[in-house]
Amino acid sequence: MKLPASGGCQCGGVTFTITADPIMHYACHCHSCQKRTGSAFSMGFLVMEESFDVSGEVTAWSRTSDSGNTNTRYSCAGCGNIIYGLGDTTPGMAKVQSGLLDDTSDVEPELHMWTCRKQPWVTLPAGAPAFDKEADAMEMLQAALDYRAARGG
Ligand SMILES: [Zn+2]
Ligand SMILES: [Zn+2]
């Protein structure tokens, strides 16, 4: 992905810039992500908070996951598009909705999680790391980095 990468919501009220390569780009097929996106899966970039600049008015909503962790997501106050999230399990990092980039032409997940809830018609690319649920963060990160290296990225 070309840096800096810019993105924003549909109404233009919130814009952001990513200034360093994401740590990981993932797709999550869990039911909660299906609900919040109204789609088959969500896609997100995990980025260090210091390399993510967001401007515009956002509203926050927090939810406690089944495992007891708090996740807060931030949405545009105008159009309601979800912009990013912060969570207990990823301190110092933001989970940015990758479909919001202005240029989504090379947005491809490096890892798939919660594939136990994957829609049956979704076929994952050969060799893409896939986890039935979620694994240890370091294990998932290593799998994503290995896949990135194998693809020449
Ligand atoms: Zn908006
Ligand atoms: Zn999910």
Tell me which ligand sits closest to the C-alpha of residue 65: 2
pLDDT value of position 41 = 97
Q: Cβ(64)–Cβ(53) under 8 Å? A: no
Tell me which ligand sits closest to the C-alpha of residue 27: 2
pLDDT, one tens digit per residue, over 125-136 is: 999 999 999 888
Confidence band (pLDDT; 50, 70, 90) for 42?
very high
The two structure tokens encoding residue 17: 């810039």
Confidence band (pLDDT; 50, 70, 90) for 124?
very high
Question: Residue 52: which of 82, 97, 11, 10 has the closest Cα?
Answer: 97
CA angle in degrees (0–180, nearest 5) for 8-14-16: 55
Question: Residue 63: which of 86, 91, 38, 90 has the closest Cα?
Answer: 86
pLDDT value of position 66 = 74
pLDDT, one tens digit per residue, over 83-96 is: 999 998 889 999 99
Confidence band (pLDDT; 50, 70, 90) for 40?
very high
* Centroid of ligand 2 to alpha carbon of 96 (angstroms): 13
* Centroid of ligand 1 to alpha carbon of 140 (angstroms): 32
pLDDT, one tens digit per residue, over 53-90 is: 999 999 999 988 777 889 999 999 999 999 999 998 88
Confidence band (pLDDT; 50, 70, 90) for 108?
very high
**CA neighbours closer than 13 Å in the CB half-sphere of residue 149:** 6
Tell me which ligand sits closest to the C-alpha of residue 78: 1
> Domain spans of the chain?
5-150
pLDDT, one tens digit per residue, over 93-107 is: 999 999 999 999 989
Q: CATH assignment of 5-150?
A: 3.90.1590.10
Question: Residue 90: which of 142, 45, 34 has the closest Cα?
Answer: 45
